[in-house]
Amino acid sequence: MSWAVETGAAVSSINGTTLTTRINPLGLVEALSGQGYISSHRKNQSDPLTNVFRRISIGLSFDTSRGADPPIFIGSNQQLSALSFRYQFVNHRDPRDQRYQNIWGEFFERQAPELTKLQSNQLMALIDVADPRRKVLENNFKNQALRDWLSETNTILSNPQSFPANLNENEAIDEARKIIERQLTNLPISELEKDTVLINALSSFVGAYLLYIQRKNVILDEIQKGTLVTFEYTNYRDVNAPDLSNFRFIAERATYGGINLTANASISIYNSLPAGMNVKRVRDFSFAGQLDVPMREVMGLGQTILSLSGKYQRLTSDAVSLVGTVLPNTKGNVAIGQIKFTIPIKDTGLKLPISVTFANRTEVVRENNVRGNFGFTFDLDTLFARFRPFSR
């Protein structure tokens, strides 16, 4: 599972003592065959059967508090707390989708030549060309320190011992990328900073590249407003309480001003009626919705998100506790509302969520509930991007 997460064929998340891994079977096969994220999609998007499997994912949840050696994750059947199956009927948020090919085509037709031309012009200002008609670039940098660095890098890349045997094309490209990343850490920065022509050329190129990325992100932001419609089946496996099956439909859509609306409806049933208990086969049904509203930046920290959410749940009979006993007088309606602010701390990957939750009761106790929470979430990708700025 760790390998699948690392190669992009799966995603993983942790909630308390529960570790959940979601795997796309087709993505796993493509990762094993060495196909890339974009190339595999383009190659197979005309195959109806492949497109069906692309929309399917399977989730496994493990509760590390169970088993003989808690809280150690061993992936045993005893720790398996839930199995899920998910199918995306509609996914308009995949930038590889065929509906966006014309948009990407126009973008690259206009922006890529402009960036390439600027790159070539700035590069030509840095090289020493004996014959302008040939424009030979290799080892012809005017700056001696940069010339030596390039020569060393090319020597490593051309050495067969730098690449393990039996690599396919994608693996060889990935290995070359790692070599270049290592070499970038050995750039003679102190020497290069003394060359004003070099610094000005690089600054000009970086400015144009950032503009290129900014225009690309405008397209990606627009794609992220697309519609998502998903069906999910989850089988919950409790230690003492009866196993449950949950059927859920989820719809998500971005609206005017970047406001994101999510709604879902679900029904839960007992896989088998608990012996000797006066409960119905249908445990509950529920409806929930959430509205995410982008707010203005707070003190330059980043864009704050205001989330308004609510849930209605109908328990058709008295609830069953985690130890397998019926809780009397728990049948009825559960209504929950929440207001949450998510404040990013700019460029750190840290986010500060602050929320207030109101409930007329819980599933197991008939008492009003008002709860406030705050905490921190951290996105490691933001931190790693600082140390690996050239990674893909």
Contact 290, 282 (CB under 8 A): no
Can you tell me the mean pLDDT for 173-197? 89
Angstrom distance (rounded) from CA 45 to CA 47: 6
β-strands 244-254, 260-270: how paired?
A: antiparallel
**What's the rounded mean pLDDT across residues 66-74?**
78
In whole angstroms, give the CA distance from residue 212 to residue 219. 11
Tabulate helix, strand, coil % of the chain (nearest 5).
Answer: 35, 35, 35
Higher-confidence residue of 362 and 392: namely 362
Q: What percent of the chain has pLDDT over 70?
A: 84
Res 388 pLDDT > 50: no
Question: What is the pLDDT, as a whole number, of residue 391?
Answer: 43
Secondary element (H or E) of residue 319: none
What backbone phi and psi angles, to 5 degrees, belong to 125? -75, -15
pLDDT for 246: 96
Higher pLDDT, 307 or 166: 307
Q: What is the pLDDT of residue 309?
A: 96
Which residues make Cβ contacts (< 8 Å) with residue 39, sequence separation at least 6? none
How far, in Å, CA of 99 to CA of 322, rounded?
Answer: 47
Predicted local distance difference test score (pLDDT) of residue 390: 42
Handedness of CA 76, 77, 80, 85 (dihedral sign): positive
Q: CB 198: neighbour CB atoms within 10 A?
A: 20
Residue 222 DSSP label: H
Beta strands in 196-331 (DSSP E): 228-236, 244-254, 260-270, 282-297, 303-315
Q: In the prediction, which pLDDT does 251 show? A: 95
pLDDT confidence tier of residue 247, bands split at 50, 70 and 90: very high
Q: What percent of the chain has pLDDT over 90?
A: 22
Q: What is the DSSP letter of 331?
A: -
Q: Check if the beta carbon of residue 364 is closer than 8 Å to that of residue 386.
A: no
**Where exactly are the structural domains of the chain?**
1-84, 100-222, 227-392
Task: Give the global pTM.
Answer: 0.68
| 275 CB burial (10 A radius; 0-12, 13-18, 19+) | exposed
